[in-house]
Amino acid sequence: MITYQIERRSGVATYMQIVLQTRQALRLGVLAPGDKLPTAKEVVETAAINPHTVLKAYRELEREGLVELQPGRGTFVRRGLGTAGTASHAPLRAELTAWLHKAEEAGLDAEDAAALFDACRAEVFAAAGTPRTGPARH
């Protein structure tokens, strides 16, 4: 099950942080079709946020066709976003983790490293002709 981490100083609306973290979990295969999302009450207890914020996020995810709200049962994942063979991403993840350790050793903080990654990602995918879909982190 996913646990939402709310960054109050991020400048990103709380409901959108839930949406973005859910999308990321779907893309990475942490969540799969049929999985149940935490209840609004569970999110409120762990993240100390308003239940209406959670419901707003879940409605947005439902509007996108990613989840299905089943009254009395909960909110369930309808479809994933990950590519086939997410497990094959392990070597890339290891390389990226090593790069992040090097960035930290070079004095970059998390935001600096994310900005550098985002800039390089934009360059690589623009050169490859792949449309940029927005920031990779949130």
At the topology level of CATH, where does 14-77 sit?
Arc Repressor Mutant, subunit A (1.10.10)
Q: Average pLDDT of 12-26?
A: 95
For the chain, the domains span 14-77, 86-127
Q: Encode pLDDT of 46-97 as tens digits.
A: 999 999 999 999 999 999 999 999 999 999 999 988 765 556 677 887 888 8
The CA distance from 76 to 74, in Å, is: 6
- What pLDDT band is residue 122 in, cutting at 50, 70 and 90? confident
- What pLDDT band is residue 105 in, cutting at 50, 70 and 90? very high
**What is each CA distance from 4 to 7, 53, 54, 120, in whole angstroms?**
10, 12, 10, 27
